[in-house]
Amino acid sequence: MFFKAVNCAVKIYRKGFDFLARGENIYKRKDGRWEGRYPKARKNDGSIHYGYVYAQSYRSVKEQLLEKKIQTTVFYSKTKKEFYGTFGDWTKIWLTSIMAPKIKESTFASYKNKIELHVLPFLEGRPLKKIVPTDIDQLIEHLSKTLSASSVHVIFRIVKGCFEAAKDRAYIYSNPCEDTVLPKVHKEKVRALTRGEHKAIEQASLQTQKGLPILIALETGMRIGEICALKWEDIDFESSMIHVHRTTQRISLPDESGNKTQIIETAPKTPNSNRFIPLSLKLKQSLVIWKKESKSQFVIGNGDHAIEPRTVSYRFEQIKQQIGLTDISFHSLRHTFATRCVELGVNIAAISSLLGHSSIKLTLDTYTSSFLEENRRAIKKLDELQF
Q: What is the pLDDT of residues 211-227, one digit of tens each?
A: 999 999 999 999 999 99
18 pLDDT more than 70: no
> How does the average pLDDT of the chain come out, rounded?
82
H or E segment to which residue 120 belongs: helix 120-123
Find the angle CA(264)-CA(267)-CA(270) to the nearest 5 degrees: 130
Task: To the nearest 10°, report the CA torsion of 282, 356, 252, 104.
Answer: -140
Given strand 48-55, what is the order of strands in its sheet?
Answer: 25-28, 34-42, 48-55
pLDDT band at 365 (very low <50, low <70, confident <90, very high): confident
Give the Cα separation of 261 and 268 in Å (integer): 20
How far CA 59 is from CA of 30, 40, 214, in Å, comes to: 18, 20, 35
In whole angstroms, what separates CA 77 from the centre of its chain? 36
H or E element, residue 208: none
pLDDT surpasses 70 at 23: no
CB-CB contact of 12 with 54 (8 Å): no
Is 20's pLDDT higher than 60?
no
Cβ atoms within 10 Å of 285's Cβ, excluding its own: 12
Does residue 2 register a pLDDT over 60? Answer: no
- Look at residue 121 in the predicted model and tell me its pLDDT: 95
Output DSSP code: residue 210.
G
Q: For 32, left (φ over 0), alpha (ψ -120 to 50), or beta?
A: left
Name the range with the highest mean pLDDT among 46-60, 188-202, 255-269.
Answer: 188-202
Pairing label, strands 34-42, 235-236: unpaired
SS3 45: coil
Give the model's confidence band at 135: pLDDT under 50 very low, under 70 low, under 90 confident, else very high.
very high
What domains are defined for the chain? 1-74 (3.30.160), 78-187 (1.10.150.130), 197-330 (1.10.443.10)
Q: Which residue has the higher pLDDT, 87 or 208?
A: 87
pLDDT interval class at 105 (50, 70, 90): confident
- In the chain, how long is the greatest CA-to-CA distance? 99
Identify each DSSP E strand in 83-173 by its residue range. Answer: none
For the segment 115-130, what is each residue's pLDDT rounded down to a tens digit?
999 999 999 999 999 9
Lowest mean pLDDT among 49-63, 66-80, 129-143, 291-305: 66-80
* 326-363 exposure pattern, b = at least 16 Cβ within 10 A, e = fewer: eebebebbbbbbbbbbbeeeeeeeebbbbbbbeeeeeb
Q: Print the SS3 string covering 269-328.
A: CCHHHCEEEECCHHHHHHHHHHHHHCCCCECCEECCEECCHHHHHHHHHHHHHHHCCCCC
What pLDDT is stored for residue 288 in this prediction? 94
Categorize the per-residue pLDDT at 6 as very low, low, confident or very high, splitting at 50, 70 and 90. very low
SS3 category, 66:
helix
From residue 368, give the alpha-carbon distance in Å to each of 330, 335, 341, 352: 20, 12, 13, 13
Global pTM reads: 0.66
